Amino acid sequence: MHLSIGSPPVDIYGSVDTGSDLVWTQCEPCPQSQCFRQEAPLFDPKKSSTYNSISCFSFQCVIAGTNCSEGDCIYSLAYGRGLHGSFSSGNIATETLTFGSTSGQPLEMPKIIFGCGHNNSESPNTPSNRTGTIGLGPGSSSLISQMATSIAGKFSYCLPHQGSSTINFGGIVAGAGVVSTPLIIRDHYYLTLEAISVGNQRLEFVSGGKYFIDAGNIFVDTGVQRTLLPLEYDSNLKLVMSNMIRAQPIEIKIGEPGLSDILCYNISSQPELPEVTIHFKGADVKLSPSNIFQNFSDDLMCSAFRGGDANTIYGNIMQINFLIGYDTEQRTVSFKSTHCANN
């Protein structure tokens, strides 16, 4: 997501993340050994007339849920798990954020709480133009919570397979083909997964050998690629899927503790993929082949599902080419299949 920070405004490019709250960007001073390389110039708070540092005793520091160091409000965040995670730490401050808009008139939002990162690491496959993260989660320090009154708790995004699209603050997802499911807000945006269908075979969602369709059993996270499911359920899903695909499966081992192998196929075998439908409460989301498998390399395509021993997460591969709208006041999430590069 492209926006600007400070006065005069400096361009930043943050990974849109519904799985975290804080907006942060790399800031000067940022030694090469402590920060990742970015294409855009680093934001220098000393050159901005609207930058304000936050003391440990301010309400903004409490909202951001952070720590104190020599009277300054600081943060420390870790993303992902294992060797492939990323992190950021630095100072909590307030700044003016400037958004471009479809009307062509920039929108300024003053005194937004954000993180000025001085020690940061990125995960592999991160876009080279990234400067930080745009937290859209439900926490008090997220961009959505700080914009809540002006957008009536509504926002939507459309992740394209390639190219760019716009994010909408304040609008709703409507029209033919829209399906909606109840939203449960805790530390993340939770939905209720009831089952997954592969072809004509429906697998009721289970966890630990028991039916597990309690309200809010999976959360939506644009910051995670693959959809993470309980290990036993993922194993059953792989078995059903591989039985329906007439090609020799390959399991790729990636050394991450607590995660299962990924089901892959040689692209040259031209596997025909079955139709997959995600059954949320009250909403059946029919996936396209590109939501189910993604090219892992020049000759391998790999599943967007993966088993894990921790959280159950609806990842971003399955969100591609869906207009997804959140209404945090009415507590719904809506899905509409579309070509996101056109939106």
Q: What is the DSSP string of 198-249?
A: ETTEEEE-EETTEE---SS-EEE-TT-SSEEEEHHHHHHHHHHHHHHS-S--
Query: What is the pTM for the complete model shown?
Result: 0.93
DSSP secondary-structure letter at 272? P
Give the architecture (CATH level 2) of 2-146. Answer: Beta Barrel (2.40)
Are domains 2-146 and 179-342 of this chain identical in fold? yes
Question: Domains of the chain: which residue ranges?
Answer: 2-146, 179-342
Active-site residue set: 17, 221
Sequential pLDDT tens for the chain (343 residues): 999 999 999 999 999 999 999 999 999 998 888 999 898 899 999 999 999 999 988 888 988 877 888 888 999 998 875 545 689 999 999 999 999 887 888 899 999 999 999 999 987 667 778 999 999 999 999 999 999 889 999 999 999 988 899 999 998 898 899 999 999 999 999 999 999 999 999 999 976 545 455 789 999 999 999 999 999 999 999 999 999 998 998 878 766 667 888 899 999 888 899 999 999 999 999 999 999 999 888 889 999 999 988 889 999 999 999 999 999 999 999 999 999 986 6
Q: Which two tokens stand for residue 308?
A: 């894990």
| Superfamily for the 179-342 domain | Acid Proteases (2.40.70.10)
The DSSP annotation for 281-337 comes to TTEEEEPPHHHHEEE-SSSEEEESEEEESS--EE-SGGGBTEEEEEETTTTEEEEEE
